[in-house]
Every structure is written in structure tokens, then in C-alpha cells.
Chains A and B, each alone.
Chain A
Amino acid sequence: MNLERLPNEEKLGLCRKYYLIGFAFLPFLWLVNVVWFFQEAFIKPAYSEQLQIKSYVKRSALGLLVWVTVLTTWITIFQRFRAEWGEVGDYISFTIPLGTP
């Protein structure tokens, strides 16, 4: 989809939709929002809806950052300590490596 051909209201509507649906545990939508609308929000010359688009992009970026931090922390802890958790670690794993703890 080429954003150039869309009128500004539709751009705003799209950005808002991606922002709102991203709350349903879909951080990739926020990533898409940030990457796709970055040029529209910060680089293009000002137009009437740009302010709202800018705010949506900023909030998407914030949400994305929170998700990335949480996931990275959890993944690091899991990979490092799963072996020591014994039964609990095995219970929450889908595949368990063979031959190493």
C-alpha cells in the first residue's frame, strides 16, 4: 500500500487502527506503525493531521520499547536458569534439549 496516494484522513485512520489493535498483545503492529509512519510523522512538511499521527507513532514506539525490554529480560532469565529450575523448567518448555541439562 502506498501511503502517497492516500488522503490525510485515511492515513490518520490507519495509524490509529494499528495503534489500537497493537494493544491486543501485538507489538509487531506497533513496530509496523513506527517504521511505516515515521516519514509521515517526522520528515514530511506539516499538515493538519500530522500532529496526531506523530503522537500515535510516539506512543507505539514507547509500547514497543516496553515489550522489547520485557521479552528480552524474560528470555535471558529463562535461557540462563531453565536447567536449574528442574521440574518447573521442564513443565513450561516445549522442546527440551537432549544430552545437556
Chain B
Amino acid sequence: MCCISSFYVFVTWSQIFTKPPCAFILFAYFFKIFFYFSGVGCNSVEKKIYVHLNYTFPCVRLLNATHQIGCQSSLSGNVGVLHELESEENLDWVLTSGPNPPYMVILESRLFTRSIMMKLKEGSGRVAGVVVVAPNINPPEGFSPHTACPNDNSGVYTENYDPTLAHCNATVWNPLGNGLAYEEFDFPIFSVKDDNDTRVIRQCYQDHNRRVNGSNPQFPLCAMQLRSSMSAVTNTATCKRRNDINFSLTPDRVCDELGDFNIWASSRPMNTTTKGHKEFESVVIAAARMDSRSFFFDIAPGAESTASGIVTLLAAAHALRRATQEAPPNRTILYTFFQGETFDYIGSSRMVYDMENNQFPLDLDNIHSVLEVSQVYILIYLGLWLHSDPVSRKNSSVKEEVEKLVNGLKSASAGLNVSVDEPDVSQPLPPSSFQRFLLARPIPGVVIGNYRSSFTNRYYESMYDNAEYLNVSYPENMTSEEQLEHFPETVKTLTEVATLVARALYVQAGGNETQLANITADPQIVNQMLYSFLVRANNSWLQQLVPTDFTNHLADRPTNFYVGVIQYFSEPTTLVQYMLANMTGSVVNVTQEDCQKQREDKDDDQSKHLYTYMWVQGAAPPNSTEREGFCVRSTVHRSIAVSPAFELHEYTTSNYSTWTESVWKPITGRIFLVANTTITANPVNYFVKLWGKKWRHKQARTSHL
């Protein structure tokens, strides 16, 4: 603001020179000068009033066919007087007795519970917003903002399929789920980390807002303004309709559909340009999900729910590389990573839809069986559970195949430190991508998880499902290089699980049992992948596997697995793509130009139907700093993962996911001192009163004369 005012001073200076060309030149000159200086040494009044909050995670609005969830603030931001909540009883101050509403409530993480949030939701105008202070260690009692029955209406268990298994009647998968992430709030909710910013907030509260000896705090009070104004309302159909309005005066984008890409690779190359059914191709799908979420936007560490499955499947693919090339089994193994599964199975429903409509290189009839890797983090003495669908098992051929798969897994576990078992026969499948395949065809399949009848994950789909929960910790004082050499305990168990999955897949694909002893996962690879996903993607190992233009997308913080709106370089999808290429592909001696044009030499136009070529930057040899790139040939492909509802333009359907994310104005937060609440509530009123006072003063003075 002050820069603009000083700029205007210089514009008037330039008008001293009346000759127009001279004035213009001078004007342009000072304009340029002021742009250079605007960032430096500007004695801004704004900086003396406001303290901006830097590392905040807001809660945003998401919409589906029938509801809107998440938070909303007013267009310029909600302002409220700060109040630190001490306990649930203290809510009374905020909701009824406090003299300076509206209040901005600061919650410690232990108070971020459903009962307190529901009471605040009923606050009706006295609550301006909520700030949750994220602790440095996970809350021991567990916290899951997801629903207790995840993906309830979008899986295979509906009233038609089997009423006794629908709506988690048989077993509740996420018992700690409080459903907060699916509630609607009309005030903003932000999350701040417990660091310097938060200390400033708490200090401000202690200095100005605390009650002393039972008397109410006096003005000036510390206040906070949170701005997270969402444009979309009501539901997906409404916001999509408003996106498309042509003759409106101000065409604004209001919402965007959630989606990304699925990543898949086949153990044997097949023609990907011809779509639809492939004769003589029988495929075993090895599936894992690639996404997670939390209550707040853009933070979804998903360590147990997502990363454990991805790392296990990638390590299994690496372990199987040699065996599938030297002694290829009868059936092809398709390693598939689905994106968007949290939001009603976006990725898997799209893949099934593409298969049904001949948009995918395979067909549903080509699928022999499915093996899905769900949450598989275990401690040494615990085991894994093999879930299958009881309804499709009533068919004898399906039952036989499932039993074969289960026996393959059990025999593969014999030589390893991992034990597997089957839960109760009548128990349904847990929430998994396999359910969408079952919706289309009765395919035999098994879902591997570390839980018997309800998740052992205490932080399912929350911001606490992170490296700390998985006991993956690296000593702080090590550099990134040294940390990659250090193996936490978790790595060893995950390696065992990966070996189990790899051997079972090989047997299921019809491979020779004598080869099994040679199939083992590499713990170093597992460690490097876990480090990349859970601690920092910007490490020396991963930098070798990616092309040069992706390196600045590598983050220095844990991977964010939130599916978000479709973008070309989304973090988890691209990481999995390059890792999978490295695990299953091979290095070929091809020039960079040919590599990027998807061919092996000038005259080759067949390879692009079978393979994908990627030029990655590689490592720098010991004597120089220039990296030596190379070409990786693999069968890794991306397939679009946007819900079929958006292809068909059916925004009210209940058959497919209809989740969209609202578009928002810039999201900011700041704290400041406020002199009198009436200025925040009703500025016109305040100034009228002020003028009234001044005018009366003036009257009084002139009457003396």
C-alpha cells in the first residue's frame, strides 16, 4: 500500500515537466525504479498492523451429487476475537456468555473432536472460525475424520447384492471414524503447525484476551481474520451448470472435478494402441491405491493407508522383474495403481468403465483374478489377513480360484517371517478397488490387509497417518545421503510382505514353483521408496530416476497423496510412474532424441505400440558434475482417472463418483489488534457515531463564540 502511494508521489513529480514526451519518459523511469524498490525497505504501515500466518492448511469445500462438505468463509474473510479453548465446558464463553462475539476459537488437537465441533457448528453467528494447532506428536487415542464405513454407497455391497452386508452391517471397518470430514461448516477452519507463528498467536492471546480475576478482557483485543472464500455451492450439478453459463456478465469457474491418472504396467509387453478384448491374453491384476486425504487441504501423508501398499507392490514388481523375463509365466501380471479411490473409487470405476467401452487395451473378460494390497504395515509378530467376497464365492468356479489364490499366498508365506490367515468366511470385502471390478463381473480376488475385521490404523485418512505412525524415523543430524543408508525396522517387515506378494503373484500367474526361491524383494529399494514417500522426495536416489524437468517438482516434505484436480505433473502419480518404470523396465542404448520420440532408431514405428520410453537424468559420475542421462524402456502407462459421471455428463448419478472441488479466492490468515468490535461488525454505524461526536463537538465550540 505504501509503495503505491509513494509511486503516486513520483507521478506528480513527473507532471512538473509540462512537455508531454518528457513527462512520459520521466513517469516511465520512476515507475521502473519503484518496481525495483518496492520489495525492499518499504516502511509499510500494513506490516505494523498485521501479522500474516504463513504455514496454514485450510479446510476447503468439496461437492458431490447431493451434498456440499467442508468450510466456507465470507468473501473478504471472517474476523473474530481470539479465544483459546481450555476444555469443553469453556465452550460456554464462546457460545453464550462471552461479551465480544464473534469469536475465533483456537483448539488444541485433543479438543478437535466431533462433539466440540458440532457444538461450534450450532454456534449461529458467535463463531467466526476455528484454528486447530497441529501437534508435533500424534495423539495417542487415535483420530479419523473419515466416516466409519468408508465408500459405503459406491462399492459392491448394496441392498441388491446382499442386504446383510450393506452399510457395514456385518463389520464396521473404521470404528474410530467420526465423520468430521464429511460435515458442512459455514466458518473457516484452518490448521497451523505448533511453531513460531503459533507462539505469536498464543502470546497475543495471553497479552490481550485473557480474563484477569474474573473481569472481562478490555479492548484492544487480539483478533484474527481467516479468508477461504469458496465459490461453489449446493452440489456438483449446480456448480457444473454455473461453470457452463455463457451469457453471464462475469463468467467464473466455480468448481473442478477431482481426478488424476492411474498408473499401470504389464509384466509382458502388449499392444496398447489396439483397445478392447485381446485374444489369448489372461491377466492377473495386482492393485494398490495411490491416494489419501485428511480434514485439511493439501496435507495427506497417508503412510499406512497408501504408502505401505504402494511401496510393497513396487518392491514386488522389482522382485519379479528377473523371473518374469527369464521364466515368464502363462498369464501377464498387470501392476495397477489407482488414484482417487478415497472419493468413491474414481480411478477403479473409470478403468472398469473404459474396459467395458473398449477404451482400454484389455477387456473385463481378459481378467483372470485380482490381488489387491491394502494397508500392510505390520509389526513382526502380527500377521496379514486375506479378505475375499462371500457372495461371489457361492459360484463354484470362482470359489475354486479364490481358494487357489489363498493357498498360493499361504504356501508363499511358509518360508517367510509373515503369517497369513483368512478371516470369517461370511465377512465382506473391505473398502478396496477390487469392489468396482466385482460390480461388473464375478471375478475371483483377494485383498491383503493387516486388519481382521476393522482397521488397525488409528489415523485412517487423517493428517496423523505419517512416518511417525509407521515408526519410520531417521536421526535428525544425518544428511539425506546418510539417512538413505539407515534402515528402520519397518523396512524389514515390508520387504518380507513384498516378497510374499511377489511369490504369490508369480504362482497365480502360472509360474513354475521352483523359481520361487529366487524371488526376493530388496530391502534397500524398499527403504529408498519409503524415504521418498514419507520423509522427502527430493533425495539423491529419486533424482536419478526422473527427467530433468520434473526435478523442481520434487518436494522437501512428505508426499501429499490428495488426489486434487487433474494436472499433468501431480506429485504422487508421477513419482509412482517413474519408480515403476525403474522397477519393471530396462535401460536401452538409445539416443535422447529417439527416446523422447518413443522409438529405438529412425525407422522404428512398432515399439511405441508396445513400450514407453523415458529419458531420465541419471547420476553424475564421480569426476564430474554433469549427470549422465539414459533411456528407460518399460511398459508403464497412464490411464485417465476422472469419474465416468463427467464423461457422461450425469452429475446426479449414484453409480459413479461425482466429487468436485470448489474454486476459491486467495486463502490468507492474519492477526491484529482490534479497538472496538463495532468497527468489525458494522463499519458504517461506527463512522456515523464518530461523525456525530465530532459534529457535536464542533457545535459546542462554535456556540461558545
Contact = CB atoms under 8 A, between A and B. Distances in A.
Interface of A: 86-87, 90, 93-96, 98-101
A90 B72 contact: no
A98 B238 contact: no
Interface string B382-423: 000000000000000000000000000000000000000000
Contact of B249 (A94, A100, A101): A94
B72 A96 contact: no
Given A90-B245, A100-B233, A101-B233, A95 B250 contact: yes
A88 B512 CA distance: 65
B230 A99 contact: yes
Nearest to A86: B238
B252 interface: yes
A99 B231 contact: yes
Main SS class of interface, A: loop
12 contacts: A87-B241, A90-B241, A90-B242, A90-B245, A94-B247, A95-B250, A98-B229, A99-B72, A99-B229, A99-B230, A99-B233, A100-B233
Interface string B271-285: 000000000000000
B75 interface: yes
B228 to A, nearest CB: 10
A97 B252 CA distance: 10
Chain A to chain B: the 3 pairs with minimum beta-carbon distance, closest first: A98-B231, A101-B233, A95-B249
B160 interface: no
What's the dominant secondary structure at chain B's contact region? Answer: loop
A94 B248 contact: yes
A87 B245 CA distance: 11
Nearest to A93: B248
Contacts of B229: 98-99
B69 to A, nearest CB: 15
Nearest to B230: A99
Contacts of A93: 248
Contacts of B238: 86, 90
A101 B75 contact: no
B518 interface: no
Contact of B254 (A95, A98, A100): A98
Contacts of B75: 98-99
Contacts of B250: 95
Interface string B124-163: 0000000000000000000000000000000000000000
B234 interface: yes
B234 A101 contact: yes
Given A95-B248, A96-B248, 9 more contacts: A86-B238, A90-B241, A94-B247, A95-B250, A98-B75, A99-B75, A99-B230, A99-B232, A100-B233
Interface in B218-268: 229-234, 238, 241-242, 245, 247-250, 252, 254
Contacts of B232: 99
A33 to B, nearest CB: 33
